[in-house]
């Protein structure tokens, strides 16, 4: 075990019909007026937004609504949200939707608490304040509901960068797995890849020997794979949707890396360039990057990759385990090659330069030079 600090202040309310509790929770936090943020229409169509509005009204919480957050949320829309939050003098942001809506809610929460331009925080300036954030999740994938991250794309510069601050940890996140039953098969698959990658990044790049954390990761990966298979057979499988949802939350809430020592997030570093440049779903991009990165990297951490293959797939070599993971990505119909997502191999130098910018921001640019990133991407052709 290595020393660590674990501080996760988010209250989770998990279960059927829990969205009705949002009004009283926001009221109890002393907030009288919120910005209600949502996406492209799924929460309206399902009737969820009406139920949330009713809960807020009943609790005496006033709100102003903003919809239209896109998947892979963009700076320009977040800036609109900041202007609206200031104009309407809201005291908190409530996200109703997926990771994209919540990440943009976190961005607006930061921007509304300062006169400094929002993008400065995504390019390195420390966040020192934010309005309180609340969430009701409709898709399980990113872990944003219980973490300090927000990822935003600057459409002008094609940078998909993030902030990481305790100030944007949601105060309360409501997780009703029944709301996720309508998530279509493609996004279910991408979400599975995302949750699995969140735990494998640390697992594959850390030193060997932290067994508790290894077993936590293996348990999350096995649960996500098993429940995804069930959900793809039956989208209304309540137990599978519920276990999947909690597994995805635990996959990026700080639990699994606590005590593992140094680790890095190279697959995300490369993927964020794919979704910044081509606007593909984040999990789809990861399904392309992960097998390629693993083939490039496993020789640098052979014992841990042997464990990965043996424990997760019962296979005797790192190469066999990597192929088994890739085969499963294929089985759930996630793309595993650049071409399958319509990305030309000729763009590899452009992608590598873009990703190197994030590698610098994350302090891993020495290993991940543009040439090294290009080598990895060549394995995804």
Which of 18, 21, 34, 39: binder of ligand NZQ (CB under 6 A)?
39
Which of 182, 219, 310, 361: binder of ligand NZQ (CB under 6 A)?
182
* Least gap, CB of 162 to ligand NZQ (angstroms): 7
Nearer to Zn ion, 55 or 162 (CB): 162
Nearer to ligand NZQ, 268 or 298 (CB): 268
Q: Which residues pair with 150 in a beta bridge?
A: 163
Q: What angle do CA 42, 99, 65 make, to 5 degrees?
A: 55
* Least gap, CB of 319 to ligand NZQ (angstroms): 26
Closest to 296 measured CA to CA, from 266, 257, 316, 259: 266
Nearer to ligand NZQ, 59 or 242 (CB): 242
Nearer to ligand NZQ, 160 or 206 (CB): 160
Helix (H, G, I), strand (E, B) or coil at 219: helix
132-161 residues in contact with ligand NZQ (CB under 6 A) are: 138-139, 141-144, 147, 149-151
**Cβ(244)–Cβ(332) below 8 Å:** no
Helix (H, G, I), strand (E, B) or coil at 92: strand
In this structure, the dihedral spanned by the alpha carbons of residues 87, 276, 161 and 325, taken in order and rounded to 10 degrees, is 130
**Cβ(269)–Cβ(195) below 8 Å:** no
Cα(315)–Cα(298) distance, rounded to whole angstroms? Answer: 15
* Least gap, CB of 166 to ligand NZQ (angstroms): 14
Which of 206, 241, 282, 298: binder of ligand NZQ (CB under 6 A)?
282
Q: What is the 3-state secondary structure (H, E, C) of 275-293?
A: HHHHCCCHHHHHHHHHHHH
Which of 9, 41, 316, 344: binder of ligand NZQ (CB under 6 A)?
41
* Least gap, CB of 316 to ligand NZQ (angstroms): 31
Which of 10, 18, 71, 205: binder of ligand NZQ (CB under 6 A)?
71
Quick one: which segment of 178-186, 316-324, 348-356, 361-369 binds ligand NZQ (CB under 6 A)? Answer: 178-186
How many amino acids of this chain bind Zn ion (CB under 5 A)? 1
Angle between helices 211-233 and 185-205 (to 10 degrees): 170
Nearer to ligand NZQ, 101 or 108 (CB): 101
Return the DSSP state at 158. T
DSSP letter string over 109-135? HHHTT-SS-THHHHTTPPP-----EEE
Cα(143)–Cα(80) distance, rounded to whole angstroms? Answer: 25
Which of 21, 34, 85, 99: binder of ligand NZQ (CB under 6 A)?
99
Q: Does 194 interact with Zn ion (rule: CB under 5 A)?
A: yes
* Least gap, CB of 181 to ligand NZQ (angstroms): 7
Cα(364)–Cα(317) distance, rounded to whole angstroms? Answer: 27
Nearer to ligand NZQ, 243 or 309 (CB): 243
- Residues in contact with ligand NZQ by the rule CB under 6 A: 39-43, 71-72, 97-101, 103, 138-139, 141-144, 147, 149-151, 179-180, 182-183, 187, 191, 194, 252, 268, 275, 282
């Amino acid at each position: 075990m290595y020393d660590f600090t674990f501080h996760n202040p988010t209250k989770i309310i998990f279960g059927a019909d829990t969205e009705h509790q949002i009004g009283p929770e926001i009221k109890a936090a002393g907030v009288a007026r919120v910005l209600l943020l949502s996406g492209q229409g799924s929460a309206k169509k399902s009737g969820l937004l009406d139920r949330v509005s009713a809960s807020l009204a009943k609790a005496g919480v006033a709100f102003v609504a903003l919809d239209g957050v896109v998947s892979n949320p963009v700076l320009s829309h977040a800036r609109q949200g900041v202007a609206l939050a200031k104009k309407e003098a809201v005291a908190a942001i409530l996200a109703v939707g997926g990771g994209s809506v919540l990440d943009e809610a976190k961005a607006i929460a930061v921007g509304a608490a300062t006169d400094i331009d929002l993008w400065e925080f995504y390019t390195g300036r420390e966040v020192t304040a934010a309005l309180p954030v609340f969430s009701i999740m409709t898709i399980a994938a990113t872990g944003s509901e219980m973490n300090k991250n927000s990822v935003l794309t600057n459409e002008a510069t094609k940078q998909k960068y993030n902030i990481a601050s305790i100030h944007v940890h949601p105060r309360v996140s409501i997780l009703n797995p029944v709301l996720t039953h309508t998530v279509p098969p493609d996004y279910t698959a991408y979400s599975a890849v995302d949750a699995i990658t969140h735990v494998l990044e640390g697992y594959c790049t850390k030193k060997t020997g932290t067994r508790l954390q290894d077993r936590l990761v293996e348990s999350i990966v096995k649960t996500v794979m098993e429940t995804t298979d069930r959900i793809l057979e039956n989208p209304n499988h309540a137990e599978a949707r519920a276990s999947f949802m909690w597994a995805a939350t635990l996959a990026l809430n700080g639990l699994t890396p606590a005590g593992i020592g140094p680790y890095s997030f190279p697959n995300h570093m490369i993927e964020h360039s794919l979704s910044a440049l081509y606007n593909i779903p984040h999990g789809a991009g990861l399904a392309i990057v992960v097998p390629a990165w693993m083939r490039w990297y496993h020789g640098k951490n052979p014992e841990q990759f042997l464990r990965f293959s043996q424990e997760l797939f019962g296979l005797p070599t790192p190469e066999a385990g990597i192929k088994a993971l890739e085969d499963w990505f294929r089985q759930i119909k996630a793309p595993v090659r650049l071409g399958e997502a319509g990305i030309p191999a000729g763009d590899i130098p452009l992608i590598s330069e873009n990703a190197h910018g994030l590698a610098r921001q994350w302090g891993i640019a020495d290993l991940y030079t543009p040439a090294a990133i290009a080598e990895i991407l060549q394995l995804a052709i």
